[in-house]
Chain A
């Protein structure tokens, strides 16, 4: 089955720790995205990558870092500098061609809780 997987489903972090959220896709999509979701606020873009070895900051990148060493993988690290990391994190991918109209496909999400 083609799709996006995220792991773990639930993650608990102590204050001051860095944690890494995994995102893998087998849709052969060039572009990948990380979003943060808080209650009542919709989704906010953290980072995006249009191609391997390249990524750009989104609207709320402070306290986060990413890498894109492989087309299939786009891990997100939540660093200790992120002041309020408790949230639901969603990874997405898309094929930025004319016929896709920018449709993005989403993974099942990771819920991060800071203890």
Chain B
């Protein structure tokens, strides 16, 4: 069965410093993986997706993630945090069995300090 573990429930960084949000997955298949961002009281917005075309995936707003099969990881990074990056981030794996089910991690809340 597919599952997703986000290793940190909260991450705090200073503006201008790098961001690392960690995600490990479990999948019996070659997975599709996503990172979504959610600002307070808003819906989810897709940051990036891995679809086996390339292991390093670039997304919006300067974020990128690297798929590492040997480590079953899909960590999200950004070289320099901006105040507007403060939000909740969800790592998601697609369950290929039948109905496009997405399996969500519990989320990581990113705080950015001046």
Residues of A within 8 A of B (CB): 4, 6, 31, 40-45, 48, 50, 56, 88, 90, 92, 94, 96, 101-109, 111
Contact = CB atoms under 8 A, between A and B. Distances in A.
Interface stretch (B12-20, B37-45, B65-73): B37-45
B72 to A, nearest CB: 18
Interface string B102-114: 1011110000000
A109 B100 contact: no
Contacts of A92: 44
A103 B92 CA distance: 10
A104 B100 contact: yes
Interface residues of B, number: 23
B41 A109 contact: yes
Interface of B: 9, 32, 34, 36, 41-46, 49, 51, 90, 94, 96, 99-102, 104-107
Given A96-B100, A101-B32, A101-B51, A42 B106 contact: yes
Nearest to B106: A42
B101 to A, nearest CB: 7
Nearest to A39: B107
Given A40-B106, A42-B106, A42-B107, A102 B41 contact: no
A94 B43 contact: no
Contacts of A31: 99-100
B48 to A, nearest CB: 10
A43 B100 contact: no
B90 to A, nearest CB: 6
B27 to A, nearest CB: 13
A96 B100 CA distance: 7
